[in-house]
Amino acid sequence: MAYDYDLASGDIANPRPAVSVPPELGWPDGMTSDMEGRLWVAMWGGARLTRWNPLTGRLLAEIPFPAFNVSCCAFGGPNLSDLYVTTARKDMKAEQLAKYPLTGGLFCIHTKIEACRRSNLRVEKSFIQLCPPSVGVC
């Protein structure tokens, strides 16, 4: 979904589809965005990572993966231009594992595109879950 976002108030309005993903590409899972405002979407069951223009809904790129369930992606590295991609073996059949033995691995794609450096997101305190110091992660 796409929304109009008011920078001053943090309010969102006008919900609408950002992209329409054909079923043959897989199921949209985790995603991130880059400095060009494009969406990178991991395709669960699609063995690919996709890049979309959310303003037009156009598919800009498909990157095939040697893993069936592509689960999430995030920029990192010293220039925030390395794209780290996770995959998962959950619910895979033996034939799928034989065809995609690297499923479950972590991959890194070196790009010339950078991640957004900061976000102007208003977070309501009531939605923040704090971890006890002894746990360290939520």
What's the sign of the alpha-carbon dihedral 121, 21, 29, 109? negative
Residue from 41, 87, 95 nearest 67 by CA: 87
Catalytic residue among 4, 11, 29, 91: 29
Q: Quick check: is 11 catalytic?
A: no
The C-alpha angle with vertex 124 and arms to 137 and 27, in degrees rounded to 5, equals: 65
For 118, the token pair is 């900061």
Spatial contact of 58 and 65, defined as CB atoms under 8 Å apart? no
Q: Which positions are catalytic?
A: 29
